[in-house]
Each structure stands twice: as C-alpha cells, then as structure tokens.
Amino acid sequence: MAQPLSNHKNSNYVLETKGLGISYGDFQAVTGVNIPVKRHKITAIIGPSGCGKSTLLRAFNRMNELFAGTSIEGQVLFDGENLYDPAVDPVEVRYRIGMVFQKPNPFPKSIYENIAWGARIHGFKGKMDELVESCLQQAALWEEVKDKLNQSGLALSGGQQQRLCIARALAVQPEVILMDEPASALDPIATLKIEELMQELKKHYTIVIVTHNMQQAARVSDYTAMMMLVDRQTRSGTVIEYDDTNIIFTRPKDKRTEDYVTGRFG
Amino acid sequence: MKEKLANPNYDVNIKGRNRGGLIWRWIFQASTVVGILALTALLLNIMNGAFGYVALEARVDPGTLAVNGTPLENQTREQLISVLKEHISSGAFNKLEKDQPFAKRSLANIRQVILERVVKYDVKQSWSLWESITRVNQIKQESTTKYPKAKLQFTSWLSSDFVGRPQSSEALTAGVRTAILGSLWTILFTILVAFPIGVGAAIYLEEYATDNWLNRLIRTNINNLAGVPSIVYGILGLAIFVRTLEPLTSGSIFGYADSVTANGRTVLAAGLTLGLLVLPIIIINAQEAIRAVPQSLRKASYGLGATKWQTVWYHVLPNAIPGILTGTILAVSRAIGETAPLVVVGASTAISFDPTSPFSKFTTLPIQIYQWTSRPQDEFRSLAAAAIIVLLIILLGLNAAAILLRNRFSRSY
C-alpha cells in the first residue's frame, strides 16, 4: 500500500483542482479547470451534453483511468495533497471518495450484502447488522426494505435501487460522495427523494453532483460550476464560471452562463 | 379499419411485407426440420446396428463340458481349470497362467476364458434391428438352412456385460470397460489442465492485459488456435508429451515403473494433449463470459474502493461462472469425442487391462469405435454401434453434471 493520504481537516476545501486537464489519448476532453469543492456543501457541475462534466467528476476519484485510459495534467488536491501523486494508491482514493452512478447499479446480491460487502472488503470489524441499518436509514430506505433485507437488490424499484447505491457508498464511510446524474433515470417522485436525501447527507459528507437538470442544481446545490465547450474545433470543455448557486442562477458574470441557465442557449 | 388517405410517396403494401415474412418463416422451419431429421437418422442408424438377430455356432458345445453332470455355470474353480486344461494346449495354458494366475482369477473370469478359448462361439451372421423386426421368418429359415448347427438368438450388443467387460478380439466377449475407463481418465486430466489454465488466461486477457498490439496479437492467435485441426495437436502432443517429456508422462521421474511401460504413450500424455486442444476453446468462451459481465458492476465495485482482485473475485467471476462452465461443457464434449490426436499420441487399440494410474497405457471410446468399424466382420460394426451409444450416454451424463453445477452457481438474483 502506498503512503496514506493525510487526514487533516483544517481547510475549508476538501477538493481543489489546479489547472486540471484530462485527455483520452489525443483528445483533450477537459482543459484548465480551477475549482474548489467545499466541505459539507453540495457542489453542482452543470453544462450542455458532451462538455466533460462526467469526465471532470470521475477525475475526483481516479475512476477515469480505469475504464477510459485517460491521462491527466495539473493537480487535484484532496485536503491539500495531490491525488495523482505517484505515491498515492488509487484504491485508497476511491475508498475515501465514493461514487454513485447515473444508472442504479446494485450488485446482484441481497440488499444486506449490497451494503455489507463494501464494509467487509475494508476490514470492517464492528456489528454489521447495525451498520447496514444505519446506512439504509441515512439513505432513507430502511423503512421500505427492513423486512426484506435478504431479497435481491435488483428486485427494488429504480428509485429504491439508487438509494440502495447511496447507502452502499455510505457503508465505507467516504469523505466525499460523487454523484453522476443520480436522478436522471428516475421519475419526479424518486428524484425528489434523492434530492431530500442529499440535503440530509451534506451534514456529514461533501457532495459533488453532475446534473443535466438546472432546476435540480438550483434546488439542491450550494455552489455551481458551469462547464462549456470552449473550443468548437478541439471539442474541449472547461469550467467557465464557478460561484454560489444563487449567483450563478440570478446574476451570472458570464453571458454564456446566463444564456444557458435561462434556457436561451444554442 | 377505414382506409388511410393514400400518399403517393409511400407504397405501404403491408400484405406483401407479411407474405415475405411468412416465406422466411417457412424456410427457417424447414431448416429446423432438416436438423431434426438428420439427428433422428443418426440415432436410428446407431440403434439399427446395436440390436438384432445373430446366428451363433459353437466349436465345442458347452453342454458337453459338464463335469459329472455339473454344467459350466456351477462348476468349482478346480473343475473349471481342469476343463480348460483338457481343451487347450499346455503352452497356451501356461501363457494364461503367466498373464494372471488362475488361483487369483475370479470364477467369472475363468468361465469367460473357457468361453473364449474352448467353446468359441462364432458369429456366423448378424442381422440389423430393422431386418430383425421386418423379416423374422426369413431370418429363421435362412439360419436353419445355411447354419444347421447354429443357434439363432436376438442379441442386444449393448448390455451391462458389454459395459463391464474389457476389450477382446472376439466380438461376443468384447466389452468397453477398458475404453470407458480410458476415456474418463483422459478427460479427467484434460479438465485438470485446461480448466484452470484456460480460465486464468481469460481473466488475465480480459481484466489485466492492456490493449496493445502484442495482446491483440495474442488474442487473435488464440482464436486461430481454436481452429487448428486436431491432428496437428496430436503431432504436437507426440513431440512434446510423449517424446520430450517422456520421463514425466511415463512416470519414471516419480519412480513409477510399469512392466508394460508405455514409453510416454500414457493417459497423462493423452490428457495433456487433449487439454492443449481444448484450451483455446475454454479461453475464448471464458473471455466471452467475462466480457458479458456488465461494466456497471465493475464500476460499482471499484467505486467502493475494491482492488482489482477483489472486483474480479467477488463480482466478475461469480457472474461469469455460468458462461465459463457452458464453454467448458462444449470443450469437454469435443475432447471426449476426439480420435485423431489420440491415434497420433499412441492410444493402444487392443488392450484388455484397465488404466489404473496416469501412467497407464490406455484406449478411449472413440478409438475403440474406430477400430471396430474398420474390421471386416459385421458383428464388430454392431459392437461399434453399441459403443457409440455408451459414448453418447457418457457425454450426456457429463453435460448434465456440468449443467447442474452451472445452475448451482447461477444464483437466483
């Protein structure tokens, strides 16, 4: 195991990107991103399709390099330390920065096992039943599933599955939870539940969410990063504006942001 | 339905489209029927050979071998031995005694020796099942006129005796026990070698190997290897396992010494050769199965901070196992029916003792079948038909076992 990331929590910034650029081979998908992610806040990343929102999000827990073989320039600081330092083990990064995906993807196991597995692989020694219950309660799912913990996670509805995935992420006690359009596959009621849940979760966790839905960003987030393609030729995206969500949605400094959030984009 | 207003730009023609679909449906149905007919013909053909009337003529009537009125079936060991001594030369008797002392043989075995060496039933003529059903009277007539001394009996060449007896040069006393055991021993080593190596290679290629030209070359060539004719593997097996690795395959480095040494032409060499033959098939199928595990599952696992190995072990493999086992069933089915490579690595065609270790000489069912079908006498073709049924039953049994195993692994989630 590489040297563990330090644990100091004095800074207000949990994550911070410094001149972050991400490339898939020759294709530079994201360039020059400099944004902070503040502790116990919800940061939303918004922008049109294909501008690199998800790519940026996955750079926060080094998920890109696993499936797409990306390369990185610049830095992503986690409590002041570069996540991409050669001495940092990506497994530890993903252990401390959890992720919830666009499509609910519970394991084809029981509801109980879905939550217990993550804790178990990280050597959890406490009382598993209690952990499972508390995670399901934090994810506002306990009341619905407490009588069928041994049933398959796949038997739940889409919204329940997504909350199960959130509960699963909580079981390894991450410091940050990345959510990649967590409600895009859900109906409005399930979406509302997830949004309420996020408000609860931010008391204990820091959340970064990618969303297509501007109302959702306006409703749930504290800070918003607006991304856009900056160069039509290279199709490379960047954050054009980062600020308080209120400011972004009421009096953005950038004309393009204003066009986008008011629906005049295009 | 009211007719839709016509648009000259569209020629809707729903009836014509349906008619076209119907014709294709007939064509597909016909293909299925052809396949079923072919299978039925195969089965009927085998059945036709495996049962039927035979005319048997004994050189010495077993009735005359009774000692003091005790028929052959009830005689003691001493009586049987004396009957045998009486009817064969002392040289032949001593040779049999040297093969296996009569004091140690079972009574059934001695009785069989008497049947083979003294009574010597001879198949004068045999009839197929179809003839036996449709022409019973003609057959009876033909038999009594042509072979007045012979007895006519309806014989099932497939019988428990046939399965339990070792190979023999006489059709009536020949069995497939040696070949069954040879096949099972061989397939055991094939699975032991090919399954772990194949699945291991598939895991490496799918989960670990990076996508560079070398690995692409390897992947392509594994596909090519699956198409190499089996005889080529036989030649490879002969060169490597029989000749080069002879000390290993004959067991001499383990201090194993057999008086009838096979010089590397052993169960182990055959198993390794067949293992090599089916390895690409297992790798390809396991790769397919691993690739079919949804990427979202891997992402979920990695997202929780699982290591690569934890992801593979807890999520990828359990979800790929049913597919891997299906591929293995296919591969084993192929291996158990292979003949050519085993001929090359030196399967014996006429051995009557069972394989007892990896270092035994061996024969297998397909080899036995091949050898019997190449004999001129009709009755050996009947034996071959019976042996084919045994082979098919073993195949079905192995497949059923694998399917049960697969269903155990694929949980209901």
Residue matched to tokens 């014509």: B16
Copy the structure tokens of residue A126: 């406490």
CB contact under 8 A, A172 and B303: no
How many residues are there in chain B? 413
CB contact under 8 A, B413 and A96: no
pTM of the model: 0.82
pLDDT, one tens digit for every residue, chain A (266 residues): 344 455 545 578 889 999 999 998 888 889 999 999 999 999 999 998 888 899 999 999 999 888 777 889 999 999 888 999 999 999 999 999 999 999 999 999 999 999 999 999 999 999 999 999 999 998 889 999 999 999 999 999 988 999 999 999 999 999 999 999 988 888 888 888 889 989 989 999 999 999 988 889 999 999 999 999 887 777 888 999 999 999 999 999 988 898 888 887 64
DSSP type of residue A6: P
For residues B320 and B292, the answer to whether their CB atoms sit within 8 Å is yes
Copy the structure tokens of residue A131: 């952990």
Q: What ipTM describes this predicted complex?
A: 0.90
CB contact under 8 A, A118 and B306: yes
Residue matched to tokens 């009785």: B111
Copy the structure tokens of residue B99: 């093969």
Strands B121-126 and B51-58: what pairing?
antiparallel
Residues of A with CB under 8 A from a CB of B: 61, 63, 66-67, 69, 91-92, 94-96, 98-101, 103, 105-110, 117-118, 121-122, 152-154, 165, 168-169, 171-172
pLDDT, one tens digit for every residue, chain B (413 residues): 777 777 888 888 889 999 999 999 999 999 999 999 999 999 999 999 888 888 888 877 777 777 777 777 778 888 888 888 888 888 888 888 887 788 778 887 888 788 777 877 888 888 888 888 888 888 888 888 888 878 888 888 888 888 888 877 777 778 888 889 989 999 999 999 999 999 999 999 999 888 889 988 998 999 999 889 999 999 999 998 888 888 787 777 777 766 555 677 888 889 999 999 999 999 999 999 999 999 999 999 999 999 999 999 999 999 999 899 889 988 998 899 888 888 888 777 777 777 878 888 888 899 989 988 888 888 888 889 999 999 999 999 988 888 888 888 765 44
- A16 forms bridges with which residues in the sheet? A36, A77
CB contact under 8 A, A95 and B310: no
Amino acid at A70: T
Question: Which residues does chain B have within 8 Å of residue A150's beta carbon, measured at their own beta carbons?
Answer: none
Residues of B with CB under 8 A from a CB of A: 211, 294-307, 310, 314-315, 319, 411-413
Query: Dihedral (C-alpha) B302, B304, B309, B313: value to the nearest 10 degrees?
Result: -100
Q: How distant, in Å, are the alpha carbons of A100, A206, B69, B349 from that of A12?
A: 23, 11, 110, 82
| Residue B146 CB-density burial (10 A; 0-12 exposed, 13-18 middle, 19+ buried) | exposed
What CA–CA distance (Å, rounded) separates A157 from A34? 38
In this structure, the number of other CB atoms found within 10 A of the CB of residue B397 comes to: 10
pLDDT at residue B162 in the model: 85
What CA–CA distance (Å, rounded) separates B270 from B273? 5
CB contact under 8 A, A67 and B319: no
Nearest-CA distance from B268 to chain A in Å?
40
Instruction: Return the residue of B nearest to A61 by Cα.
Output: B303
Instruction: Return the residue of B nearest to A121 by Cα.
Output: B306
Q: What values do phi and psi take at B57, rounded to 5?
A: -125, 130
CB contact under 8 A, B319 and A168: no
- A213 forms bridges with which residues in the sheet? none
What CA–CA distance (Å, rounded) separates A181 from A12? 25
Q: Which domains does chain A have, with CATH numbers?
A: 13-261 (3.40.50.300)
Nearest to A91 among B295, B296, B307 (CB): B307
Question: Which residues does chain A have within 8 Å of residue B304's beta carbon, measured at their own beta carbons?
Answer: 94-95, 98, 117-118, 121, 168-169, 171-172
Count the alpha carbons within 13 Å of A223 in the hemisphere toward its beta carbon: 19
Q: Could you tell me how many helices (H) and strands (E) chain A has, helices first?
A: 11, 11
Instruction: Return the residue of A nearest to B410 by Cα.
Output: A108
Question: Which residues does chain B have within 8 Å of residue A4's beta carbon, measured at their own beta carbons?
Answer: none
Copy the structure tokens of residue B252: 């001499």
What CA–CA distance (Å, rounded) separates B250 from B242? 8
Question: Which residues does chain B have within 8 Å of residue A96's beta carbon, measured at their own beta carbons?
Answer: 305
Strands B51-58 and B151-156: what pairing?
antiparallel
Run of H or E residues at A35: none
- What are the residue ranges spanned by the domains of chain B? 51-155, 177-409
The SS3 call for residue A47 is coil
CB contact under 8 A, B299 and A92: no
pLDDT at residue A1 in the model: 38
DSSP type of residue A51: S
Burial A112-148 (b: 16+ CB within 10 A, else e): bbbbbbbbbbbeeeeeeeebbbbbbebbbbbebbeee
CB contact under 8 A, B314 and A117: yes
Q: How distant, in Å, are the alpha carbons of A114, B254, B386 from that of A106?
A: 7, 51, 53
Question: Which residues does chain A have within 8 Å of residue B296's beta carbon, measured at their own beta carbons?
Answer: 101, 103, 105
- A32 forms bridges with which residues in the sheet? none
What CA–CA distance (Å, rounded) separates B162 from B176? 6
CB contact under 8 A, B303 and A61: yes
What CA–CA distance (Å, rounded) separates B328 from B194? 9
First-to-last alpha carbon distance for chain A, in angstroms, is 48
Strands A42-46 and A223-231: what pairing?
parallel
The SS3 call for residue A112 is helix
Closest among A26, A33, A17, A64 to A230, alpha carbons compared? A33
Question: Which residues does chain A have within 8 Å of residue B307's beta carbon, measured at their own beta carbons?
Answer: 91
Copy the structure tokens of residue A225: 């990063």
Run of H or E residues at A49: none
Question: Which residues does chain A have within 8 Å of residue B312's beta carbon, measured at their own beta carbons?
Answer: none
Size of interface A-B (CB pairs under 8 A): 72
**The domain over range B177-409 is classified in CATH as 1.10.3720.10:** yes
- A73 forms bridges with which residues in the sheet? A21
What CA–CA distance (Å, rounded) separates A193 from A200? 11
Question: Which residues, in sequence order, are CB contacts of B402 under 8 Å at separation 6+?
Answer: B325, B328, B329, B332
Nearest to B304 among A67, A108, A168 (CB): A168
CB contact under 8 A, B299 and A67: yes
CB contact under 8 A, A121 and B306: yes
CB contact under 8 A, A152 and B412: yes
Nearest to B302 among A66, A165, A168 (CB): A66
For residues A162 and A100, the answer to whether their CB atoms sit within 8 Å is yes
pLDDT at residue A243 in the model: 92
Nearest to B413 among A103, A118, A154 (CB): A154
pLDDT at residue A2 in the model: 45
3-state SS, chain B, equals CCCCCCCCCCCCCHHHHHHHHHHHHHHHHHHHHHHHHHHHHHHHHHHHHHEEEEEEEECCCHHHHCECCECHHHCCHHHHHHHHHHHCCHHHHHHHHHHCCHHHCCHHHHHHHHHHHHHCEEEEEECCHHHHHHCHHHHHHHHHHHCCCCEEEEEECCCHHHHHCCCCCCHHHCCCHHHHHHHHHHHHHHHHHHHHHHHHHHHHHHHHCCCCHHHHHHHHHHHHHHCCCHHHHHHHHHHHHHHHCHHHHCCHHHCCCCCCCCCCCCHHHHHHHHHHHHHHHHHHHHHHHHHCCCHHHHHHHHHCCCCHHHHHHHHHHHHHHHHHHHHHHHHHHHHHCCCHHHHHCCCCCCCCCCCCCCCCCCCCHHHHHHHHHCCCCHHHHHHHHHHHHHHHHHHHHHHHHHHHHHHHHCCCC
CB contact under 8 A, A106 and B295: no
Run of H or E residues at A72: strand A70-78
Question: Which residues does chain A have within 8 Å of residue B413's beta carbon, measured at their own beta carbons?
Answer: 108-110, 152-154
